[in-house]
Amino acid sequence: MSDPHRELVERGYDRVAERYLATKDPEDPLALSALEDLSQNLQPGAKVLDLGCGAGVPTTLQLTRRGFVVTGVDVSERQLELVRKLVPEATFLKADMTELDFGPNAFDAVVAFHSIIHVPREEHPALLGKIHRWLGPGGLFLATLAMTDFDGEDGDWEGWGAPMRWSHYDAETNKTMLREAGFDVLYAGPRTGGGTGDSEETWLWVLARKGLLR
């Protein structure tokens, strides 16, 4: 990400960290259902990368409860301070996900809930290609991607009192990018729920398996 884009996202999540965490349900049924789909295809002790882990609720917390070895990545230092206390079993890195450089076959699964939508969309194909490379044979990618095309920012992030930036393509473009990156898409469809506070949000929930690059 460019420095201004990354700094805006980082500053926004730093500023709202505690209030944002307070809206999260550790037992969120939508997230639990998707994580169960993932877990059924992984062995205990599997290595999982959580991109945009935030304060860890519910995703990082639930992954560790299932016995996986989790590495969480986030650009917000304040979010990482919170998650290190809530999920001490995991390992955490402060980084821009587009600048990560893990080796090939480093993980059995990669999870990215509500995080890739903050990356400049022109960088999405390259990021998906990296994720494909980081996964071992048959590795799984579980993510929420966008249903609509949008690139812009909100100086008050829907009343949160912090700036935020989003950048993403529509559902069909997202599915095409996944396939072009070498993934076999197991499912990709809209699901509604799991928003912040009382809101209900619809995202493209994706589970994909690493295939051979075509």
Alpha-carbon distance of 156 to 12, in angstroms, equals 9
Cis, peptide link before residue 163, omega less than 30° from 0: no
Domain at 3-210, CATH class: alpha beta
Alpha-carbon distance of 69 to 120, in angstroms, equals 29
The residue behind tokens 């009192």 is: 161
Domain boundaries, the chain: 3-210
Q: Where are the beta strands (DSSP E) in 95-201?
A: 107-112, 135-145, 150-154, 164-168, 183-192
pLDDT in tens, the chain (214 residues): 678 898 999 999 999 999 999 999 999 999 999 999 999 999 999 999 999 999 999 999 999 999 999 999 999 999 999 999 999 999 999 999 999 999 999 999 999 999 999 999 999 999 999 999 999 999 999 999 999 999 999 878 877 889 999 999 999 999 999 999 999 999 999 999 765 545 678 999 999 999 876 5
